[in-house]
Amino acid sequence: MPFSKHIRKSILPATKDTLQEKDKPDKSEEDALEAVEREALESIGEAYNTLALEFSRAGQYIDAASYFRAGAKAGSQQAQYNLAVCYEHGQGLDTNDKKAAYWYKKAALQGHAMAQYNYAIFHLLGLGIKRNEKEAVHWLNKSANQGLCQAQSYLGSRLIYGPNQDLSKGIDLLKKAVKQKDAEATYRLAMCYEDGIGVAINQAKAVDLYNKAAMNGHSEAQCCMGRFHQLGLGGIPANRTEAKAWFSKASENGNQEAKESLASLRFLESEESFKNVSNLASISLPHCSHSSPNLVSDFGLIDHIGSGDSKPSIWANWPSISYLDLLPSFQKHSQTNSKHLGRSSFQLGDDDNIHTFKENR
């Protein structure tokens, strides 16, 4: 039986117009294809990053850097971050702050919290890019909003001691960083409780926080613990032996004021013939870095920024985050010239998955 006219018409070759209408990709299909392609590239990038980390563990930094680069170009934010660290610290590649800043920015734009922090510090110090405080604060806020304690600690301190104070927000940021056991934030918050900055004076709370920071190796907090024991503050009894122990620990960590305080106590011990020398509370000794830090320079930034190899005091003991002397113990900073640091780490996966390596170099 012959085809009907209707059926025959339905199988006639499509006209040019119908072809264009039929073959034109749908917008949602385009987006879906792009997403699949992007995910595929990211998977490849993560594979390169994982391989690079294995080379890093083996001390083969040139090969590691090569695979980090391949992963970075494929779009892996972890590989981009690690490649930036390699450029910053000269691991497997020649040191190049400009290229480090470029790759930190790439990872930062993808939401990598540590890259955002490091990119902000590069802006603060003018490493590889022009110094720009506004951009630095922008990226620090992004990083802090993702919960990175280094960014929270810095911004909190800046809002408390900087030119544009916001004590409530500053204290809140410090408390968030303290919950993550950030030693610098713990020390700064203790100062606030001791002096009543943004909070009610509470010496008992102050000594508790100083002790936590001191136990975490913070030299200025250790010095303050020596002072509290020396003078019997915060509800603890005056105890010369405990004071000397804390001053000694702080001195061993390079705290000059602690050295002076320890020397003063030892001098007093040598003068026991003076009847009232045991009343330490009546003797005035150095305040152990307790005064509010000078966070503002002529550029409106932290003290000592850009002063060669000296580290800004606010960052003095931070486990800062990108440190990449490559595989030694990852933490970055960017607050000083990283070429002189001996610690580093690489990003393994998610932002909370940082692996620390140690090596003798």
Angle value at C-alpha 132, between 82 and 158, nearest 5 degrees: 90
Tokens 């024991």 correspond to: 229
Q: What is the full per-residue pLDDT of the chain (361 aa) written as tens digits?
A: 444 444 334 433 444 554 455 555 566 766 666 666 667 777 898 999 999 999 999 999 999 999 999 999 999 999 999 999 999 999 999 999 999 999 999 999 999 999 999 999 999 999 999 999 999 999 999 999 999 999 999 999 999 988 889 999 999 999 999 999 999 999 999 999 999 999 999 999 999 999 999 999 999 999 999 999 999 999 999 999 999 999 999 999 999 999 999 998 888 877 764 555 445 555 444 444 333 333 333 233 333 323 333 333 433 333 333 323 222 222 333 333 333 222 345 654 444 444 433 333 2
Identity of residue 112: H
How far, in Å, CA of 265 to CA of 259, rounded? Answer: 10
List C-alpha distances in Å: 171 to 166, 168, 186, 284: 9, 5, 11, 30
CA 286 vs CA 183, 291, 295, 337: distances in Å: 22, 11, 21, 30
- Ranges assigned E (strand) in the chain: 345-347, 354-356
How many Å apart are CA 106 and CA 114, to the nearest integer?
12
Global pTM value: 0.68
